[in-house]
């Protein structure tokens, strides 16, 4: 399931930089990527100037597509947003997701199933994308069937 | 095993002042802080020209659009020094979280090393007009590009995720958090300077409040305020000649997250892993353990942090903080209970960060707590922020016997 509000959503947009541009380019195509260090091969998110795993100061991160499956570690129901563009979406659920591909990477995003979705610790989810503006999409999650 | 901190008990708190804590002061934060600093210096029996060190943490903890203006929304060490004793020997601003342990550690080190003789530590907090955390930002750069466009923004969602992880894992009830908030507000209601002075909260009132970021409601969050507090530190030797009973700083420690995370993402396991390591460093630094602490004051800027601090410090097993507080476990009016929110905390004072905990430890150990004075408090511990990003301090009325001979003496 992919939610596609009309451009523009009124929500704030990410501004890509040298490290994040490949991630956002893939997200625009609805592909979730993690950053792989060219020295040690460890995946991380978000990329940083130094690799957390091997300490490389020249990690030359590449954006590697991942399947976007994971499990819910926690969630909250947001009933008051401090950002523009979210008022009509309240209340909404944020999920804290441990990715199957690399469990020490945790992502936080909206759960698009709505505030009454049956959630528990360990609920399987998969990534979905919200189109915010022309050429800009951000990751979110939807409940998935158990593997 | 690390060597003992040579500053242990070498530096003492010798005076303080606390301003009224109000929603919006009728004067500038700079004026409020300057008067508070002057009062603290006078309380210590000193004059401003004797204060040659200034330390603060000037973080303005808002996610909103507010400008940071020295003297208006923040008060830096340099700003205050320029108006009390220009060109001091030492002036520094702590820039991390855990602002109270962080800035106090810098002040202790400055005095112990001789970089300054009398150091003023202050904390000034401002409540700007308009929404504290709200923003109209259309774009986010840097770290927030990874979270804000997805709707993850601000401290409510942060603590909501952390605490729901705790609730789901350990089965904590709303009634357990009610116990925390009611206790903080009860003690805060007794403080003349508090925003909540004379205004306790009942469990029924707490439970009737709607959620903001489940399982966090309005009363689980400290309220933004204008307020300032200041403390004067000097050597234990000089402290003996000053008017009040000195309160020695026996040790301090700050946390360090086990790994890099998204902005404002505080996974429960990160907090506890770094928090227990921080506690181990604290006992080593202070030369004493939790069983030697007469008064423990935990941080409560968000109510669930009380459970996490109790567990990180080892007051109760991990996952049992919510049981520990039930049935009057932390009730300051119940003999034999553990009054960890005697200070009123941030929930019972207003958003003064870790000031209430530091202040209560100082007042109780120095014997200056007035009607609230408790018997036999010679050691105390104050916490601030989260166990993984903040820290804690240990205080003693009496310096411990020297465990090593200093060749300089």
The CA distance from B94 to B71, in Å, is: 17
- Cβ contacts (< 8 Å) between B139 and chain A: which residues? 12-15
Q: Kind and range of the H or E element at A97? A: strand A92-99
A51 and A72 part of one domain: no
Phi/psi-derived region of residue A41, left when phi > 0, alpha when psi is between -120 and 50, beta in every other case: left
Does residue A29 form part of some domain?
yes
- Cβ contacts (< 8 Å) between A7 and chain B: which residues? none
Q: What is the pLDDT of residues A17-35, one digit of tens each?
A: 999 999 999 999 999 999 9
pLDDT of the residue at B408: 41
The CA distance from A74 to A93, in Å, is: 10
A53 and A88 part of one domain: no
Counting the structural domains of chain A, the total is 2
Per-domain boundaries in chain B: 11-129+222-396
Which of A11, A73, A94 lies closest to B149 in CB terms?
A11
Q: Indicate yes or no: CB of A15 within 8 angstroms of CB of B154.
A: no
**Among A66, A97, A124, which residue terminates a domain?**
A66
Which of A15, A20, A139 lies closest to B150 in CB terms?
A139
Which residue do the tokens 């409560």 mark?
A: B300
pLDDT of the residue at B402: 59
What three-state secondary structure class fits B155?
helix
A121 and A98 part of one domain: yes
Does residue A47 form part of some domain?
yes
pLDDT of the residue at B400: 82
Q: Indicate yes or no: CB of B149 within 8 angstroms of CB of A74.
A: no
- Cβ contacts (< 8 Å) between A110 and chain B: which residues? 150-151
With beta carbons less than 8 A apart as the criterion, state whether B215 and B167 touch.
Answer: yes
How much is the pTM?
Answer: 0.96
A60 and A88 part of one domain: no
Selected residues 6-25 of chain B with any CB under 8 Å from a CB in chain A:
none
Of B278, B341, B360, nearest in space to B313 by CA: B278
Q: Starting at the earlier edge strand, list the strands of the sheet with B90-94.
A: B90-94, B53-57, B119-125, B227-235, B11-18, B247-254, B391-396, B379-384, B295-297
Which of A48, A52, A108 lies closest to B150 in CB terms?
A108
Does residue A7 form part of some domain?
no
Does residue A11 form part of some domain?
no
A138 and A113 part of one domain: yes
Which residue do the tokens 């960890």 mark?
A: B340
Sign of CA dihedral B156, B159, B161, B163: negative
A80 and A137 part of one domain: yes
The CA distance from A75 to A123, in Å, is: 11
Q: Indicate yes or no: CB of B213 within 8 angstroms of CB of A92.
A: no
Which residues, in sequence order, are CB contacts of A88 under 8 Å at separation 6+?
A: none
With beta carbons less than 8 A apart as the criterion, state whether A121 and A137 touch.
Answer: no
Q: Indicate yes or no: CB of B146 within 8 angstroms of CB of A46.
A: yes
Q: Indicate yes or no: CB of A82 within 8 angstroms of CB of B164.
A: no
Which residue do the tokens 């789901």 mark?
A: B168
A34 and A79 part of one domain: no
With beta carbons less than 8 A apart as the criterion, state whether B374 and B335 touch.
Answer: no
Torsion angle of C-alpha atoms B3, B6, B12, B17, degrees rounded to 10: -70
Residue ranges making up the domain that contains A100: 68-147
Nearest Cα residue in chain B from A27: B146
Nearest Cα residue in chain B from A13: B139
Superfamily assignment of B11-129+222-396 in CATH? Thiolase/Chalcone synthase (3.40.47.10)
Q: Which two tokens stand for residue B390?
A: 């903040």
pLDDT of the residue at B60: 85
A39 and A53 part of one domain: yes
pLDDT of the residue at A3: 55
Angle, helix B268-286 to helix B155-170, in steps of 10 degrees: 90
A104 and A74 part of one domain: yes
The CA distance from B40 to B287, in Å, is: 29
A99 vs B: CB within 8 A? no
Give the pLDDT means over successive 10-residue stretches in chain B (409 positions): 80 98 97 98 98 94 85 96 97 93 98 98 94 89 96 96 98 98 98 98 97 97 97 98 98 91 96 97 96 98 98 98 97 97 98 97 98 97 97 95 50
- Cβ contacts (< 8 Å) between A89 and chain B: which residues? 151
- Cβ contacts (< 8 Å) between B165 and chain A: which residues? 73-74, 96, 121
B303 vs A: CB within 8 A? no
A86 and A123 part of one domain: yes
pLDDT of the residue at B391: 97
Q: How many CB pairs below 8 A link A and B?
A: 131
Torsion angle of C-alpha atoms B36, B384, B14, B344, degrees rounded to 10: 70
- Report how far apart the first and last C-alpha atoms of chain B are (Å, whole number): 26
Query: Residue A141 sits in a domain of what CATH number?
Result: 2.40.50
pLDDT of the residue at A1: 46
A89 and A133 part of one domain: yes
With beta carbons less than 8 A apart as the criterion, state whether B335 and B280 touch.
Answer: no
Task: Give the gap in angstroms from C-alpha A52 to the nearest C-alpha of chain B.
Answer: 8
A47, A53, A108: best to mutate for the B interface, most B CBs within 10 A: A108
Selected residues 33-62 of chain A with any CB under 8 Å from a CB in chain B:
44-46, 48, 52
Q: What is the pLDDT of residues A89-147, one digit of tens each?
A: 999 999 999 999 889 999 999 999 999 999 999 999 999 999 999 999 999 999 998 65
Does residue A10 form part of some domain?
no
pLDDT of the residue at A7: 57
Does residue A5 form part of some domain?
no
Does residue A4 form part of some domain?
no
Q: Which two tokens stand for residue B132?
A: 């504290």
Of B62, B79, B63, nearest in space to B71 by CA: B79
pLDDT of the residue at B2: 60
Q: What is the pLDDT of residues A38-91, one digit of tens each?
A: 999 999 999 999 999 999 999 999 999 999 999 999 999 999 999 999 999 999
A73 and A59 part of one domain: no
Of A92, A98, A75, nearest in space to A130 by CA: A92
């Amino acid at each position: 399931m992919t939610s596609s509000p009309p451009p523009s959503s009124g929500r704030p947009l990410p501004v890509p930089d040298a490290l994040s541009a490949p991630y956002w380019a893939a997200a625009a195509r609805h592909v979730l990527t993690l950053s792989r260090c060219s020295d040690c091969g460890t995946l991380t998110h978000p990329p940083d100037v130094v690799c957390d795993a091997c300490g490389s100061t020249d990690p030359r991160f590449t954006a590697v597509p991942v399947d976007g499956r994971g499990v819910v570690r926690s969630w909250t129901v947001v009933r008051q947003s401090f950002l523009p563009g979210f008022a009509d979406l309240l209340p909404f659920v944020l999920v804290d997701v441990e990715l199957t591909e690399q469990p020490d990477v945790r992502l936080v995003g909206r759960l698009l199933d709505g505030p009454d979705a049956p959630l528990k610790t360990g609920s399987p989810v998969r990534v979905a994308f919200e189109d915010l503006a022309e050429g800009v999409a951000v990751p979110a999650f939807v409940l998935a069937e158990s593997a | 095993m690390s060597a003992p901190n040579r500053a242990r008990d070498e530096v003492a708190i010798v005076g303080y002042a606390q301003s009224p804590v109000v929603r919006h002061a009728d004067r500038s934060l700079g004026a409020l802080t300057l008067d508070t600093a002057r009062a603290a210096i006078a309380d210590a029996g000193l004059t401003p020209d004797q204060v040659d060190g200034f330390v603060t943490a000037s973080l303005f903890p808002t996610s909103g659009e507010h400008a940071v203006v020295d003297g208006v929304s923040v008060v830096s060490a340099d700003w205050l020094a320029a108006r009390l004793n220009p060109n001091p020997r030492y002036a520094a601003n702590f820039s991390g979280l855990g602002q109270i342990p962080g800035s106090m550690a810098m002040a202790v080190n400055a005095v112990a090393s001789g970089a300054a003789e009398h150091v003023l530590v202050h904390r000034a907090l401002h409540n700007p007009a308009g929404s504290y955390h709200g923003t109209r930002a259309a774009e986010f750069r840097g770290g927030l590009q990874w979270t804000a466009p997805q709707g993850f923004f601000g401290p409510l969602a942060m603590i909501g995720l952390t605490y729901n992880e705790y609730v789901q894992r350990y089965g904590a009830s709303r009634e357990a958090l009610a116990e925390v908030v009611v206790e903080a507000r009860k003690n805060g209601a007794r403080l003349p300077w508090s925003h909540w002075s004379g205004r306790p909260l009942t469990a029924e009132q707490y439970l009737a409040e709607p959620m903001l970021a489940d399982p966090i409601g309005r009363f689980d969050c400290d309220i933004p305020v204008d307020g300032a507090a200041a403390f004067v530190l000097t050597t234990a030797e000089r402290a003996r000649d000053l008017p009040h009973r000195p309160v020695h700083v026996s040790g301090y420690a700050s946390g360090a997250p086990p790994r890099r995370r998204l902005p404002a993402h505080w996974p429960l396991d990160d907090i506890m892993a770094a928090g227990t390591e921080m506690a181990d460093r604290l006992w080593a630094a202070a030369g004493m353990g939790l069983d030697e602490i007469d008064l423990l004051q935990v941080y409560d800027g968000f109510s669930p942090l009380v459970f996490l601090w109790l567990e990180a410090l080892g007051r109760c097993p991990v996952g049992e903080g919510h049981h520990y507080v039930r049935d009057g476990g932390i009730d300051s009016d119940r003999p034999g209970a553990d009054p960890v929110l005697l200070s009123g905390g941030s929930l019972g004072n207003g958003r003064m960060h870790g000031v209430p905990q530091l202040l209560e430890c100082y007042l109780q150990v120095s014997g200056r707590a007035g009607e609230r004075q408790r018997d036999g408090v010679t050691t105390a511990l104050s916490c601030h922020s989260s166990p993984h990003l903040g820290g804690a301090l240990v205080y003693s009325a009496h310096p411990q016997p020297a465990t090593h001979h200093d060749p300089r003496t």
